[in-house]
Amino acid sequence: MSYLRFRFRHKQTIATVLVDTEDDYERAVKAMLKARKEIEEKITRDPLFFTTLDPYECHGEIVGRMCHASKLANVGPMAAVAGTIAQYAVEEVSRFSEFIVVDNGGDIAIYTDRELIVGIYPSNLGFRIEPEGKIRAVCTSSGKIGHSISFGYADAATVVGSDACIADAFATALGNMIKEDFGKNEIEEALEEFWQTARKHVDGAMVVKDDVVGVVGELPEIVKVNVSPDLITKG
């Protein structure tokens, strides 16, 4: 089935939006701008919200969700910023449409009535996402690409769940655990340690580092992909 593809750029946000109609794209843009406005206003009032790498207490429709995710994953609230913007946009559009995907720099929220293949960058792997009548989140942290803060060395630390706010925060936490010298055994141990906390909040996770792939929990079907560079959302 066909769909429309748009690239949205506003300040630090670089997102790919898949929709059936231009009206749905405009709804997604409106939601992303609203989310950004609340986040920017919070940063102006409370600079520590932006700089802290620790769980943080705050309130608000958007920033409150970021702080909640930060406490669950034991990271700073900005670790969830991209996923939160994507999640909010998909929640808003899904009230009107059966199909909306927002990929905000590798943090993806999906509501779909058709099968989709979601590639995990940088790797040649992806997930087959089936229609489920609910939002799915596929969020990736990388220690090797992108401008987001990561203290790890994974090519891709990917978390799948039902809320991109939370999946984004946990992807950051997982990525931070993967050290430069980690091989297969160490990655498996890190995933098991990660899963002790994350299992209550997300569905599953995958780590790709060099030629090692580790998984934990319940993930969509993993498939090989060959993604055109033009389709990759990155700053």
- What domains, with CATH codes, occur in the chain? 4-225 (3.10.520.10)
Please report the pLDDT score of residue 235 as a whole number.
46
Please report the pLDDT score of residue 228 as a whole number.
59
Q: Alpha carbon 1 to chain centroid distance? A: 24
Q: Rounded to two decimals, what is the model's pTM?
A: 0.92
Distances, alpha carbon 225 to alpha carbons 81, 93, 97, 222, in Å? 27, 28, 27, 9
Please report the pLDDT score of residue 227 as a whole number.
65
Please report the pLDDT score of residue 233 as a whole number.
54
Give the burial string for 82-102 (b: 16+ CB within 10 Å, else e).
bbbbbbbbbbbbbeebebbbb
Please report the pLDDT score of residue 151 as a whole number.
74
Please report the pLDDT score of residue 146 as a whole number.
56
Please report the pLDDT score of residue 226 as a whole number.
77
Please check the confidence at residue 100 and state whether its pLDDT lies above 60: yes
Strand partners, 205: 159, 216
The pLDDT of 146-155, averaged and rounded, is 72
Please check the confidence at residue 73 and state whether its pLDDT lies above 80: yes
Contacts of 51-57 with CB under 8 Å at 24 or more apart are 51/76, 52/76, 52/77, 53/149
Please report the pLDDT score of residue 153 as a whole number.
87
CA–CA distance, 105 with 103 (Å, rounded to integer): 6
pLDDT (tens digit per residue) in 18-27: 999 999 999 9
